[in-house]
Amino acid sequence: MQNKVLCFNVIRRKINEDKMNEEKKQEALENIELIKELVLQTKKHIGHYGGGWICFIWGIFSFTGVAGQRLLIPHGPLIGVWWIALAVVAGFATYLVTRRFTKNQPVKAQQDYMRYFLRFWIPLMLLGYTLATFIALLPSLSNHYISIVMLLVVSTGYLIIGFLFYRWILYMGFIGYIGSIICAVYFLQYNDIILGVLFGTGLIITGLFINKQWKNT
């Protein structure tokens, strides 16, 4: 009888131990799940600066720019002014998007993003503005080359960002370079339309891709 009670107690202790271990395991699993989720969400918040929307803005910039350029062809020098004004508007819209998306970040990283933005794009924008000003001031320069030059400038920016941060952006840079060479050699008359559509569509597709990727993170 005594042996039976002893045996019963041993089994009961074993069952309790197993139950406790199972509870601890469950708790550990829940904690790991919580950690994973919080780490992932925080990284997601940090990584989002509105890149997709910025691509949309510059895609629309590309389409609007080319359309305006076509309309302004009879007024030659105005084309340069048009591109500069449009780039200022697009630049300001980019700033607003970055500011909006970095507002809810762990620590406002907007200064960091703006710093990166300025470091990469301002020198290239200056180059673009200077070239556009030349075209505006020197009527002897052909308007046909405006879009090719602008595209080369932007493609260079994409290549820099692609090599430094996001490899997939390299494709945009290469497409821009190859497209501008082909258009300059074979389709000079229609280069602005072809390149504008090519680049604008590329940017909008990139924007969709970035936004989708961010949602799936």
Partner 1 sequence: MEEHIAIKLNKAIHQKARLGIMSILMASKQVDFNYLKDRLKLTDGNLSSHLSLLEKEKYIKIKKKFVKKKPKTLCQMSDKGRQAFKEYLENLEKIIRSTP
x-or-dash string of contact with partner 1, 40-69, rule CB under 8 A: xxxx--x-----------------------
Residues contacting 44, CB < 8 A, separation 6+: 214, 217
We find the least distance from the C-beta atom of residue 113 to partner 1, in angstroms, to be 14
Residue given tokens 């084309």 in the structure block:
79
- Residues 99/117, Cβ–Cβ less than 8 Å: no
Q: Which is nearer to partner 1, 29 or 89 (CB)?
A: 29
**Residue 105, interface with partner 1 (CB under 8 A)?**
yes
Distance between CA 131 and CA 16 in Å, rounded? 80
Distance between CA 99 and CA 174 in Å, rounded? 30
- Residues 64/87, Cβ–Cβ less than 8 Å: no
- Within 7-36, the residues that bind partner 1 by CB under 8 A are 21-22, 24-25, 28-29, 31-32, 34-35
Distance between CA 210 and CA 47 in Å, rounded? 11
- Within 107-136, the residues that bind partner 1 by CB under 8 A are 107
Binding window for partner 1 (CB under 8 A); candidates: 3-11, 83-91, 105-113, 149-157: 105-113
**Residue 39, interface with partner 1 (CB under 8 A)?**
yes
We find the least distance from the C-beta atom of residue 56 to partner 1, in angstroms, to be 27
